Amino acid sequence: MVRYKARYLLFNVLYPTSAPDATNPTHIDFLAPSDSSVTPGELATLIREGLSHNFGDWGAGIAGNISVKYFSPATSTGIVRVSREQYRLVWAVLSYIGEIKGRPCTIRVVHVSGTIKKAEIVAVKRAKLDMHLVVEDQTRLEEEMMMISEDEE
């Protein structure tokens, strides 16, 4: 008996939250939470439809063994389980998805792992890094506001 060898794709759903800034037109802020109504089952259905649409009957045939093991609407982070042979196709389909529930988005695969444990570890590390960057950015903004208020006096 041969065991099922899978890959776990850790992905982020990125939503453009605003139009490009007039002073910096190449920058768009993408960090935003997903709707709480987005479920792992809906994402799995979206991936299966994408496989069928982009790869035809063959893509629909391999879509049966795909499952979204984890999705957090708060961080817009998820983990997809797929067979080792087809993980590149699922990665491509995730990249092709342009909207979820009518809301424009971009899906970025950030890590591929052979075990769900390693994918979870990377997800936690990325969340901690994001929180550190947010706190650091907030501190920098507070310092700038203090400098501006001192200049006005």
* pTM for the predicted model, two decimal places: 0.79
Per-residue pLDDT, 7: 95
Per-residue pLDDT, 152: 63
From CA 24, how far away is CA 17, in angstroms rounded?
15
pLDDT in tens, 25-45: 555 556 677 778 889 999 999
Per-residue pLDDT, 34: 79
Sign for the CA dihedral angle at 113, 40, 127, 17 comes to positive
The full set of domain ranges for the chain reads 6-152
Query: Domain 6-152 maps to which CATH number in 3.40.50.150, 3.30.70.3250, 3.30.70.20, 3.40.47.10?
Result: 3.30.70.3250
Per-residue pLDDT of the chain (153 residues; tens, 9 = 90+): 788 899 999 999 988 866 555 565 555 556 677 778 889 999 999 999 999 999 998 888 887 789 999 998 888 899 999 999 999 999 999 999 988 988 888 999 999 999 999 999 999 998 888 777 777 777 877 777 777 777 665
Q: Which helix (H) or strand (E) holds 84?
A: none
In sequence order, the 6+-apart residues with CB closer than 8 A to the CB of 103 are 15, 35
